[in-house]
């Protein structure tokens, strides 16, 4: 039986089947294309993007959300997008380590995915693997991104709901927020809100949101203490009510990422590194001439 014919066996009740399908897709193993083309979605599980700068407490927030959702009998999947190591081209697995308390839960599936050099901490593989999880029948799918400045905006092309996690100290970067993240956020989660300056920062964010004439929730949390988590849960449990125009935009972004990946498929970064390493010390090495040959 080929991988495509195993689609019907992919279910949140059988984590091995889910892991197997994700591995096939992530590594472009034989049958991956057919597997994706035969995906069927019996429920409209929302994909919730969690982004924001390092140190904002994204993993702690996801942990708290998972705990409350599973208490309500929900089945949750998490794609933890880890930075790709420049040395071994693999995932550093940091987020999975921080979520160990959920590893044995029958209602929680966690998978790490290396960014594979994608600037926004995302890759076309994220889109494909998220769709595998949707087809498996999970109630909620969280995608936690690396969060590296303006490039984290890529999450908007994937998620049905985008939560931007910040801390009160982010007030120093208010202009960056205004110029970039304000465009993609469905909600700002001000984590570690027991710190000084939290209320001032929240008020500034609300003013900025008003200037954009967009309904953006601003929620204070202390995820390590489960404070404010109920309000975030209420937000993500609201009916999506996604209009056709919004859905078309999301699918366009997904299609663009997938097409870009297909066109770059023959560019092997490790091979690129090997070739440059052999040429870099030569006096006549010219980067632009080298790139032209590719």
User: Looking at the predicted structure, is the pLDDT value of residue 240 above 60?
Assistant: no
Q: Compute the mean pLDDT over every residue in the chain, rounded to the nearest whole number.
A: 79
Share of the chain above pLDDT 90, in %: 32
Of 47 and 98, the structure prediction assigns the larger pLDDT to 47
pTM score over 0.85: no
pLDDT value of position 119: 44
Rg (CA), the chain: 20
pLDDT digits (tens, 9 = 90+) for 247-260: 677 778 778 878 88
**CB neighbour list of residue 51: distance below 8 Å, 6 or more residues apart:** 58, 121, 144, 145, 147, 152, 155, 162, 163, 164, 165
Alpha carbon separation from 208 to 149, 158, 217 (Å, rounded): 18, 24, 12
pLDDT value of position 89: 43
Which residues is 112 bridged to in the sheet?
80
pLDDT digits (tens, 9 = 90+) for 108-166: 999 988 765 554 445 678 888 999 999 999 999 999 886 655 445 567 667 888 898 99
Domain annotation for the chain: domains and CATH numbers: 41-263 (3.40.50.300), 269-294 (no CATH)
pLDDT value of position 21: 95
Q: How far is residue 142's CA from residue 129's CA, in Å, rounded to a whole number?
A: 12
The lowest-confidence range among 7-11, 157-161, 231-235 is 7-11
Alpha carbon separation from 37 to 41, 139, 232, 236 (Å, rounded): 12, 22, 34, 28
Q: Is 38 exposed, middle or buried (0-12, 13-18, 19+ CB in 10 A)?
A: middle
Query: Cα-flanking dihedrals φ and ψ of residue 117, to 5°?
Result: 85, 0
> How many CB atoms within 10 Å of residue 247?
12
Share of the chain above pLDDT 70, in %: 73
């Amino acid at each position: 039986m080929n991988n495509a014919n195993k689609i019907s066996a992919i279910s949140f009740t059988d984590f091995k089947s889910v892991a197997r399908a994700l591995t096939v897709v992530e590594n472009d193993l034989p049958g991956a294309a057919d597997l994706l083309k035969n995906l069927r979605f019996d429920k409209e599980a929302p994909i919730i993007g969690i982004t924001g700068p390092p140190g904002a407490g994204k993993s702690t927030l996801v942990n708290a959300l998972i705990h409350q959702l599973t208490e309500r009998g929900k089945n949750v999947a998490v794609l933890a997008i880890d930075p790709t190591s420049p040395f071994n081209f693999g995932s550093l697995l940091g987020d999975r380590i921080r979520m160990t308390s959920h590893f044995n839960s029958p209602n929680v599936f966690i998978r790490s995915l290396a960014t594979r050099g994608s600037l926004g901490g995302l890759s076309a593989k994220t889109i494909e693997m998220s769709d595998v999880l949707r087809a498996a029948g999970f109630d909620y799918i969280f995608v936690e991104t690396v969060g590296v400045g303006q490039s984290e905006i890529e999450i908007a092309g994937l998620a049905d709901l985008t939560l931007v996690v910040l801390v009160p100290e982010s007030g120093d970067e208010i202009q960056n927020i205004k110029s970039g993240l304000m465009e993609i956020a469905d909600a700002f989660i001000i984590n570690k809100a027991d710190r000084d300056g939290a209320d001032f920062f929240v008020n500034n964010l609300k003013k900025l949101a008003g200037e954009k004439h967009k309904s953006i929730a601003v929620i204070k949390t202390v995820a390590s203490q489960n404070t404010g988590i109920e309000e975030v849960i209420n937000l993500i449990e609201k009916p999506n009510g996604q209009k056709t125009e919004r859905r078309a935009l999301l699918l366009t972004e997904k299609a663009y990422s997938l097409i870009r990946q297909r066109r770059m498929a023959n560019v092997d970064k490790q091979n690129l590194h090997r070739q440059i390493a052999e040429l870099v010390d030569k006096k006549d090495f010219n980067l632009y001439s080298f790139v032209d040959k590719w």
